[in-house]
Amino acid sequence: MSLPDEIRTFIRAHRDDYTRLLQDWVRDATLSGQEAAHQAKIRDLYQSLGLDTDYWEVDIAALRDNPLFNSHRQDFTGSPNVVGTWKGSGGGRSLILNGHVDVVPEGDHAQWEQPPYSGEILDGCLYGRGVTDMKGGNMASFIAVSTLKSLGVKLKGDVILQSVIEEEAGGAGTLAALERGYRADAALIPEPSEQMIFPRQQGSRWFRLRVVGIKAHGGTRYEGVSALEKAMSVLEALQELEKRRNDELEDPLYDGVPIPLPINVGRIAGGDWPSSVPDEITLEGRVGVGPGETVADAQRDVESALAALAERDSWFGEHPVDIEWFGACWQPGGIATDDPLLDMLSTAYREVHGESPRIQASPWGTDGGLMTQYGIPALVFGPGITRLAHFPNEHIRLDDVFDVAEIIALAVLRWCGHDE
């Protein structure tokens, strides 16, 4: 039996074990700050594979001065990173397989058909918050390494499995791994791409906007200025800016994407009494950063659009919108479309699926942007379902997890090289 056939056979033979393990992972509600128990399991699994395993709590003080650091947290207590290194025999290329364990809040439970952390399986799909973003992808990487190890493969280059924190809020976990010295010739991140290959990725930057008004009694509201009515103008300005930025974007990798670089307002709050005119509204959101621009470029666009409000409404001249760039920041990034990793992954895809992969730019940032900043070519390719990330009823097709595991195993073999 050829090695590729052995890989496929091994994965199929152990499918039930890996499925149960993924159910177990999904049942860990690894919200930001609550990852420790899950990461301890990952540490034990890495050790059981014989990897050099590094489990550490991220020291926020050592990261604060890094210009790429972004976090709303005061410390990372309860949020350790885990890295497992499989040392190659030498002479091959090294590869990072990176994935995050933090999940976003589950939202309104009433919109979930199962409890959010059920791990239930229905019609070949496994359900739960974080299964598509991205514990299913983490499982695919784990299966790939576990399979190659079990089959006694001797790689030439190193494989570095990374189970990181904080991807959803700025990437401090991956940044900490980079700063701890974990580097490689390339990185693959199995975020939920539906098995499309994303050689380029969108970055994004969070903003907090404060819009002010003047308080008044609701019955004489004309004596005040409603911060909410002003916030509506701000929202319209952001909608216009989004349209303009996307109309101007020219990148064939975004063909067919309805809004390549979205501006999303995710939170709003303001006012303290139903019958008072609200005097402050806060808006929080994210602006997408194109692969061909910097985070600073996108910030300048938002700042200009909000400053231009003063031309339409003198209120904003006297009370400009206060803009805070806070919390999360994903760097845009990517690799050249003729990069050998892209070629090798495409070849592996064809071996498994019998057809060529779809290649696009990602609609969102990943920690691959940070890898790019450190000179590590990174691409995204994973089993999850893009539109279910951050959604109620998040789930993943189990077949996709195992297909991606097989493709990653084949790509690792070719990229790192192995002793025959």
| Catalytic residue set | 102, 167
Q: Indicate the helix (H) or strand (E) that contains 287.
A: strand 280-289
Nearer to its own copies, 74 or 220 (CB): 220
- Give CA angle at 174 (171, 178), nearest 5°: 135
Q: Site for its own copies (CB under 8 A): how many residues? A: 65
Secondary element (H or E) of residue 176? helix 172-179
47 binds its own copies (CB under 8 A): no
We find the least distance from the C-beta atom of residue 91 to its own copies, in angstroms, to be 39
Residue 170 in the binding site for its own copies (CB under 8 A): no
Q: Is 202 in the site for its own copies (CB under 8 A)?
A: yes
Q: What is the DSSP string of 324-344?
A: E--S-EE--EE--TT-HHHHH
Does residue number 222 form part of the binding site for its own copies (CB under 8 A)?
A: yes
Candidate ranges 13-21, 34-42, 99-107, 302-310; the one touching its own copies (CB under 8 A): 99-107
Q: Per rule CB under 8 A, is residue 272 in the interface with its own copies?
A: yes
Which amino acid would we find at residue 312?
R
- Does residue number 221 form part of the binding site for its own copies (CB under 8 A)? yes
Q: Which of 80, 130, 270, 332 binds its own copies (CB under 8 A)?
A: 270
**Residues linked to residue 107 through DSSP beta bridges, in sequence order:** none
- 194: number of Cβ within 10 Å: 17
Closer to its own copies by CB, 139 or 388: give it.
388
Per-residue contact string for residues 342-381; x = within reach of its own copies by CB under 8 A: --------------------xxxx----------------
Fill in the per-residue mask, 56 to 95: x = in contact with its own copies (CB under 8 A), - = not in contact.
----------------------------------------
Q: What counts of helices (H) and strands (E) characterise the chain?
A: 13, 17
DSSP character string of 189-245: E--S-TT-EEEEE-EEEEEEEEEE-B--BGGGGGGSB-HHHHHHHHHHHHHHHHHHH
Stretch that binds its own copies, among 15-23, 33-41, 181-189, 385-393 (CB under 8 A): 385-393
Instruction: Confirm or reject binding of residue 216 to its own copies (CB under 8 A).
Output: yes
> Who's near 394: CB < 8 A, 6+ residues apart?
127, 128, 129, 130, 131, 132, 133, 388
Token couple for 357:
């992969």
Would you say 94 or 362 has its CB closer to its own copies?
362
**In 340-408, beta strands by DSSP E:** 359-362, 378-381, 395-397
Among 16, 74, 152, 275, binds its own copies (CB under 8 A): 275
x/- contact string, 279-318, with its own copies (CB under 8 A)?
A: xxx--xxx-x------------------------------
What CA–CA distance (Å, rounded) separates 171 from 359? Answer: 24
What pairs with residue 227 in β-bridges?
none
User: Is residue 238 part of the contact set for its own copies (CB under 8 A)?
Assistant: no
* Residue 17 in contact with its own copies, rule: CB under 8 A: no
Tell me: does residue 278 bind its own copies (CB under 8 A).
yes
Residues near 273 by beta carbon (within 8 Å), at least 6 away in sequence:
none
Interface with its own copies (CB under 8 A): 104-105, 107-108, 111, 133, 168, 202, 204, 206-208, 214-224, 226, 228-229, 232, 235, 258-259, 262, 264-281, 284-286, 288, 327-328, 362-365, 386-387, 389-392
